[in-house]
Structure formats: C-alpha cells, structure tokens
Amino acid sequence: MKKMIALTLTAASLMAGSLIDDAKNAGLKPIPASQTELLKLIDNPKNPITKEKVKLGEKLYMDPRLSRSELISCNFCHNLMEGGDDGVGPSTGHMWRHNPHHLNAPTVYNAVFFGSQFWDGRAKDLEEQAQGPALAHPEMAATKEHIEKVVKSMPEYVKEFKKAYGDNVKITFEKITDTIATFERTLVTPAPYDAFLNGNKEAMTPKQKEGLKTFIQVGCASCHNGVALGGEMNAFNVTGTYKYMSTGDFKGDANGMVKVPTLRNITETAPYFHNGMIWNLKDAIKEMGRIQLGTKISDKQAESIEAFLGSLTGKKPHMMMPMLPASTNETPKPNLN
C-alpha cells in the first residue's frame, strides 16, 4: 500500500513538473520568489525605489486634494482595498461624469509588469501614466500648478520630499507623479500560481492545474502571457466582433491595437473588457474565445479556465491608511465646477 501511494505521488509530481514546463513554454512567467530578482523587474534605474519615496508616494496616491474638486484621489478609481480598480463600468470622475469614451479603469495591481499603460498603450511606464489622470478633465481635472501648490502648501509634504530626494529637491508636478509611480511599482501580488511555477507543485489545486492545461490548450496564453498574463498591445476582434463594441467610441490605438488586460486578480476586477460591459467571468471567457480565438468555449472549459484564474488571486501588500498632512491657509480651495 505504501509503495502504491509513493508511486501515485511520484506520478503526480511528474505531471505537475510537465505542466510547469508547458506553462513556461507557452510564455507564462511567475513573479520571482527572490526579492532581489523581483526588484530587478519593478525598479526604475532613473528613479530607484526607496522606503522614503514609497511612503510619500502612498500618501500622494491617497490624497484627494490633488484633484480640482479635492474629492478624487488616485485610489478613487484604483481602489487598493479591493481589486485595484473601481468596480463600475465606465469610470466616474470630476463632477461625477462618466468617462466620455465609456472606458473601464484597469487595475493598478501588478501594472508595473505591463509593457504599456492605458487601453491604447500611449504611456510607456507608470511614471508617464501617472501624469494623465491628474490632468484629464473627466478624471481629476487638475492642473500642474494646482497640484504643485497643494503639495508645497503643506510643510509636512515639503519635509518628506526633502527626506526622499535631498534638501535641494525641486517639487514639481513631474516629481510628484514620479513619486506616486514609485509607490505603484511596489503593488505586486504574488499568487498560488507563482508559487506553483516557482516549483511548489502543491500550491495549486487539482482543478486549478487542470484549468491551466485548458487555458494553454484553448490558446488563451497566446495573448495572456509574461509575468502580467497581459499588459502588451494586441489586435482586437480577430475572429469576431465584440458584442458590446458599440458602447463607447473606443476602437484601440491608430492601428486598432488594444492593451491586453492582466488576468491577475481577475476574480476581483469585474466588470470586464475595455468598456466594462460584461460582469460574469465565465461569459467573458466565452466571449474572448469567440472574438479572439475563433473558438466556441464550452461551459466545462469555461469553468475549468475560471478555476485556474482563481489561482491568480494574489496576496496584497500590507498597508495602513496613511494620515495626510493638514491643509494650510496656502492650500488651494476646492473647485467643484
């Protein structure tokens, strides 16, 4: 009996090893288990990550006073208390207006692994991306001058910038958004899937492993690959037309390319697609099969893939809500218009 159990365990181990190889051959990559290796992936050599910058960036990320109304923070649309998004269809911004293109807010978790930012890929990294929503009228609707005045008006912020960058730091809009991006670079969520690909063959359940096989066999990994399982630009409506394509006017970049959304924490980031029109994950899986792979994904296959996607729900960085500096008489007043 003991020999039979040992043989069964050995067979299971070999099968898991084969699946790991299959996943890596399909272009899937884990978040490194080594902090040293991880830092190589997430750091910005032009603005290296430090504890001081991350702490300051977290405060700025949470501070709604950077917006014109002083009601909308980065966290408003990219809520770190859940999936790193806002959980609605089109994002809502200044004066409670919906995004004019009916665009859905992507998650900020693991965005550091994306090859490009925004649905049309117009920003190359988080530093460039962080500038966009702050100035966009449908979002935070601020100006560079407003944001700089807000930060400079508070002695505590000035002190923290000097601590992070040195006494001669010049507090500019770009320096502020770079600091926010530094914080965002640390928002990495390692999951059971990563532990599995890193060699822990028991990290995923049998159903999740079977789902990974289905995910690869159906062809999902052809677009959802790399560390982010997405994040690169790709053609959309390859073998069919997305059934909600008429909702909103977004058609991709100049070449019709759309950023592939990450599948990490996908169970926490409904609704799905660029315009947030599908709420059920199995429905999203089937629609992707139809329009991207030319495949009719069965209920059984969709359930299997969904089981695998559950292994991508990761451990969020531990953080406490930061206490923000008090406004002063020099702090700009809210503008609700």
In this predicted model, which residue has the larger pLDDT, 36 or 7?
36
Kindly give, in sequence order, each residue whose CB lies less than 8 Å from that of residue 46, ignoring residues fewer than 6 positions away: none
Please write the tens of the pLDDT for every residue from 48-101.
Answer: 999 999 999 999 999 999 999 999 999 999 999 999 999 999 999 999 999 999
Q: Residues 173, 196: one domain?
A: no
Local structure of residue 274 (DSSP, 8 states): T
* Catalytic (active site) residue 139: yes
Predicted confidence at residue 14, as pLDDT, reads 46
Please write the tens of the pLDDT for every residue from 68-81.
Answer: 999 999 999 999 99
Predicted confidence at residue 185, as pLDDT, reads 98
278 phi and psi angles, rounded to 5 deg: -115, 125
Kindly give, in sequence order, each residue whose CB lies less than 8 Å from that of residue 70, ignoring residues fewer than 6 positions away: 64, 332, 333, 334
Predicted confidence at residue 15, as pLDDT, reads 65
Residue 198, domain member (yes or no): yes
Q: Residues 106, 203: one domain?
A: no
For residue 91, give the CATH number of its domain: 1.10.760.10
Q: Residues 194, 153: one domain?
A: no
Predicted confidence at residue 12, as pLDDT, reads 53
- Binding-site residues for heme c sit at 74, 77-78, 94, 220, 223-224, 288
**Residue 179 binned pLDDT confidence (cut-offs 50, 70, 90):** very high
Residue 258 host element (H or E): strand 257-259
In our burial notation (b when 16+ CB lie closer than 10 A, e otherwise), range 108-145 reads: bbbbbbbebbbbbbebebbbbbbbebbbeebbbbbeee
* Domain extent at residue 265: 20-32+189-311
Q: Residues 231, 175: one domain?
A: no
Catalytic residue from among 58, 127, 139, 287? 139
The stretch 268-297 carries a mean pLDDT of: 98
Q: Which domain-ending residue is among 135, 170, 185?
A: 185
The stretch 26-44 carries a mean pLDDT of: 98
Residue 55, domain member (yes or no): yes
CB 123 within 8 A of CB 132: yes
Residue 5 has pLDDT above 90, yes or no: no
For the chain, what is the domain count? 2
The stretch 124-139 carries a mean pLDDT of: 96
Residue 230, domain member (yes or no): yes
The one-letter amino acid code at 311 reads S
Coil/strand/helix, residue 194: helix
- Binding-site residues sit at 74, 77-78, 94, 220, 223-224, 288
Q: Which domain-ending residue is among 185, 204, 237?
A: 185
Q: Residues 233, 302: one domain?
A: yes
Please write the tens of the pLDDT for every residue from 229-249.
Answer: 999 999 999 999 999 999 999
Q: Residues 156, 273: one domain?
A: no
Residue 7, domain member (yes or no): no
Residue 280 has pLDDT above 80, yes or no: yes
Q: Residues 181, 266: one domain?
A: no
